[in-house]
Amino acid sequence: PVQVYNWTQRGDPAFVERASGAIIVLLAFLLVMNAIAILLRRRFERRW
């Protein structure tokens, strides 16, 4: 996230595009990891 912030502070439009792409990739990664955590939690949940 810090690198993305640094890219947005530069004036070059290429860095703004790169930062936008990095944000999308990080959000997708976060959603995938969250989905995996939900699936693992459901699979290994104890039944009382």
H helix count then E strand count, the chain: 2, 0
DSSP-assigned letter for residue 44 = T
Q: What is the pLDDT of residues 10-36, one digit of tens each?
A: 878 888 888 899 999 999 999 999 999
What angle, rounded to 10 degrees, do the helices at 13-43 and 2-9 form?
A: 160
pTM of the model: 0.74
Q: What is the pLDDT of residues 34-45, one digit of tens each?
A: 999 999 999 999
